[in-house]
Structure 1
Amino acid sequence: MGLMFRKRKKYGPIILNFTENGFSSWSVKIGRWSWNSRAKAHRVDLPGPLSWKQDKSRA
């Protein structure tokens, strides 16, 4: 297994994700809620190390 390149650029609540192949996905994060364009999933950060995720493709 080799090294993986990942880069994140934040512009307010919008986050752009890049890999070694270029642009990967974008996310929106407002408070504890976030949504990712690649996974098409909503996520809510819960207290401690927990989080809740709703996958849109299975809902």
Structure 2
Amino acid sequence: MAILFRSRKKFGPLILNFTENGFSSWSFKIGRWSWNSRTRAHRVDLPGPLSWKQDKR
């Protein structure tokens, strides 16, 4: 089992994601809605442990 390095830096609604290899992706989050640059997916947080995701593929 390996230990993985992950880090997130938040600047308001902009989130920068880093891994052990450096910069990974950026995300934009407003309220319950978010968008990720790597997966190009929209996500909406629903009540409880649920969420809805729409892929752009």
Instruction: Please classify the TM superposition score into its range, dividing by the shorter chain length.
Output: over 0.9
Q: Note the residue ranges of structure 2 that are not aligned, 5 or more in a row.
A: none
1:29 aligns with 2:33: no
C-alpha distance in 2 between matches for 1:56 and 1:34: 13
Task: Report the number of matched residues.
Answer: 57
1:41 aligns with 2:56: no
Secondary structure at the aligned position of 1:53 is classed as strand
- Report the identity percentage: 82
C-alpha RMSD of the superposition: 0.4
Q: Note the residue ranges of structure 1 that are not aligned, 5 or more in a row.
A: none
**Map 1:1-59 → 2, pairs under 5 A:** 1-57=1-57
Runs of 4+ off more than 4 Å: none
